[in-house]
Structures are given as C-alpha cells and as structure tokens.
Amino acid sequence: MFDFGWGELLLIGIVALIVVGDDFPAMFRTMGRFTGKIRRMAREFQRAMEDAADEAGVKDATNAFKDAANPGKMGLDRLNKAADRFDKWEPTKPPPKSKEKGQEKPKLSEERAASAKKYQEDTAKKAEEKKATEAAAESAAAADDTPDAKDAT
C-alpha cells in the first residue's frame, strides 16, 4: 500500500524535526503510547472473538474436522502398518509372531490332535516300508547282476 524507501523516510524525519523542533522526543513518546493502546485494543478484540467462537462451538467443529482429516481415525494406520511390514519383510527369515487378534494359530481339539498323530505315525510306517522294499529290490537287482546268477541260467 505505502511504498516508502529509506530516502523518503529520512526526508520525512528531517521535515518532522524542523516542524516539531524541541518537542521531537515528546512526540515520539506520545506516538509510542498511542501505538501501545492500539495493540492492546487489538489483543482484547482478538480475545473477545476467540471467546465468542468458543461459546458458539467453533472449536468443537474445528476439532471434528481435524479428527476427520486424521489418517489414524480413518483406518489408514492399519494400511500404513501393513505397508511397513511389507517393506521390512525378509523372505529368508521366519515371520514374526503377531499378537493381533485372529493371527494366532488355532489349537487343535483332542480328537483332531489324536488323528493327526495317528496320521503322522502311519505316514512314518509307510515311508519305512517303502524304503525296505526299495532296499530289497536293489539287493535283488544286485544279486541278479552277480556272475553266479548268470552262470546258473
């Protein structure tokens, strides 16, 4: 609005010194008091406006808008947490045990645990039988390849 340079301000100061004369310090003191009163009035007005806004509930509305804009309140915190876990994921390490609800491994009932144990035992028996038959077949094949077996035929 007002575009004063240092030259113009110096010229105004010299003219004011000539016009006012010896009362120059008193004039600055009066201007300082006047400026202080204006600032105090502005502060009081601002406080009155803030008090009126508080009574009208503007602060509550402002807090509601801030909460609505908060990503933590919109569920984005879970998404950010999942993204962080993905960024820190190392395939060579086992996954960390999660303490979140629904992430625990469900415990088997006694009946299912017994059937699982029986299944593991049966599988182990069948594996041993298979190894034994393979070993017998290999020994039989090795016996057929011996020179004594060829001479007998």
Residue 150 has pLDDT above 60, yes or no: no
Which of 80-89, 116-125, 137-146 is modeled with the greatest confidence? 116-125
Radius of gyration of the chain from its Cα atoms, rounded to whole angstroms: 46
Work out the average pLDDT over 81-103. Answer: 70
Number of structural domains found in the chain: 2
Q: With respect to residue 32, please indicate whether it lies within any of the assigned structural domains.
A: yes
* Tokens (6 digits) for 100: 């979140």
Picking from 28-37, 83-92, 109-118, which range would have the lowest pLDDT averaged per residue? 83-92
Residue 120 has pLDDT above 70, yes or no: yes
Work out the average pLDDT over 107-125. Answer: 85
- Domain around 116: 110-144
Residue 97 has pLDDT above 70, yes or no: no
Average pLDDT, the chain: 80
* Tokens (6 digits) for 68: 């609505």
Q: With respect to residue 102, please indicate whether it lies within any of the assigned structural domains.
A: no
Q: With respect to residue 33, please indicate whether it lies within any of the assigned structural domains.
A: yes
Q: What is the pTM of this model?
A: 0.33
> By the 8 A CB rule, do 67 and 73 touch?
yes
Residue 24 has pLDDT above 90, yes or no: no
The residue behind tokens 């299944």 is 119
Dihedral pair phi/psi, residue 74, rounded to 5°: -95, 5
pLDDT of residue 64: 79
Work out the average pLDDT over 16-29. Answer: 84
Q: With respect to residue 151, please indicate whether it lies within any of the assigned structural domains.
A: no
CA dihedral 114, 118, 123, 125 (to 10 degrees): 150
CA dihedral 66, 69, 73, 78 (to 10 degrees): -150
Q: With respect to residue 138, please indicate whether it lies within any of the assigned structural domains.
A: yes
Q: With respect to residue 64, please indicate whether it lies within any of the assigned structural domains.
A: no
Q: With respect to residue 94, please indicate whether it lies within any of the assigned structural domains.
A: no
Residues 6+ apart with CB under 8 A from 73: 67
Residues 6+ apart with CB under 8 A from 104: 98
17, 40, 56 - which closes a domain:
56
31, 56, 81 - which closes a domain:
56
Q: With respect to residue 77, please indicate whether it lies within any of the assigned structural domains.
A: no
Work out the average pLDDT over 116-129. Answer: 92
The residue behind tokens 């035992």 is 121
> By the 8 A CB rule, do 71 and 80 touch?
yes
